[in-house]
Structure 1
Amino acid sequence: MEHRIIVAGIGPGNPAYMIPEARHAIDQARCLVGGRRALAQYARKDGASQRCCAITRDIEGVLTFIENSLADSDVVVMVSGDPGYYSLLDALRRRFSVSSLQVIPGISSFQLAFARLALPWHGASLLSFHGRVPDDQALTYGKGRLLGLLTDHVHTSQTIAADLLTRGWPPDTFFAICSRLSYDDESVRVLTLQEAVTCAPVSSCVIVVRG
């Protein structure tokens, strides 16, 4: 039987938010790939019966490791949140056949942020500032528009709030900053857009904006 690549979404961070199927695949993995923090958390401590590879900027090297490992075992690839949103899944699809991929979904930080706010998200535009900037049209103001935004260390709650103000979003716009979701020090702050501009910046979080 041809070996598979099992792409497992590990959720927002806290193991309690990982679905059982993903946890089972990780626990049984003979070959495990993931970020350094995920490997530190989920790789077998003895390491004797498990090969591991950390996902770094050398994506080509990671893909080659996976390809070589498929010769004698399945490979479990851990990705944060859900594999369907800006994860290694895109690169895997370009390198390997879709038939060799099994994807186990995970709870995304977007899902958890909207849940914390008791806010339906079926009409939301989900955008990422992780090393990229959404186009102008995606950030255009519209009454009733709902945005979910991923931030990084450059594009923070403060810089994004200021940018939305310049784009015509009203100062009293609903602006929620959701950080460290699922962890003990989780924080969910609901502000106005104007208040967010004057507050200390928060990075690596989820922002929910409602026009």
Structure 2
Amino acid sequence: MKIVGVGVSEGMLTEEAIRAIDGAEVIYGSKRAIEIASSYIKCETHEIDFKHLDEIPDDAVVLSTGDPMLSGLGTLLRGEVIPGISSLQLACARLKIDLTSITAITAHGRDIEASKKRILDEAGRGRYLFILPDPKRFGSIEISKILLEAGYELPVVVLENLGYENEKIRYGSTQNPPEPETMLYVMVVHP
């Protein structure tokens, strides 16, 4: 099995990812991942059922949005991982933040209390925080609120639809956080 990162949006695939997709006999992925890679797909595709990951055949190419090792399928499946251009990389490029000065935290699909603790622990270290929120349960407004309640009055940036035509970058603070207009966003908290 190959787990292939298709990047955060169209045009963000690596050459290695394109070769893997081109040589695939069967591809699995989310609807969005399949759409991102669609111009390179020449075989049968299946929308992934996350409840039945163990039923994916060993010879499949599995598409993961962004990079499979940033809160992606590379942590859930066994096989060769081909990296993709992640939302973390693109956010750092857009904001001109050195990747070595940022800590990545994912709250998406995670235990909310554990996510809160991790965010507060990392905020205390004085580094940039790159946060993949869980927009339905624990988004930028809730994250800003817990930071503010803990005494962190910090700049906050919400990056929506990274890499797409309708990409938006919104600036605010934990006191006045940007409210995303879409579910497809990440958040950066400045130290």
Shorter-chain TM band: 0.7 to 0.9
- Contact 1:30 1:75 survives alignment (8 Å): yes
- Contact 2:107 2:134 survives alignment (8 Å): yes
Off by >6 Å, runs of 4+ in structure 1? none
Q: Which amino acid aligns with 2:34?
A: L
Aligned sequence identity (%): 31
Query: 6, 12, 32: which one pairs with 2:8?
Result: 12
Corresponding residue for residue 206 of structure 1: 186
Under a length normalisation based on structure 2, what TM-score does the superposition of the two structures give?
0.85
Under a length normalisation based on structure 1, what TM-score does the superposition of the two structures give?
0.78
In 2, distance between residues paired with 1:181 and 1:201? 13
Could you say what secondary structure the match of 1:162 adopts? helix
Q: Which runs of 5+ in 2 are unaligned?
A: none
- Structure 1 position 91 matched with structure 2 position 76: yes
Corresponding residue for residue 80 of structure 2: 102
- Structure 1 position 146 matched with structure 2 position 128: yes
- Contact 1:152 1:204 survives alignment (8 Å): no
- Give per-residue Cα distances to partners, 1:55-102, cap 9 Å, x unaligned: 1232x3x432314xxxxxx32111011111222223323xxxxxxx32
For structure 1, which segment, 156-165 or 140-149, has the greater mean C-alpha deviation from structure 2 after superposition? 140-149
Q: Which runs of 5+ in 1 are unaligned?
A: 68-73, 94-100
Matches within 5 A, 1:99-138: 101-132=79-110, 133=112, 134-138=115-119
Could you say what secondary structure the match of 1:183 adopts? coil
In 2, distance between residues paired with 1:41 and 1:208? 24
Corresponding residue for residue 80 of structure 1: 65
Q: How many residue pairs are counted as aligned between the two chains?
A: 185
Instruction: Say which one has the larger Rg.
Output: 1
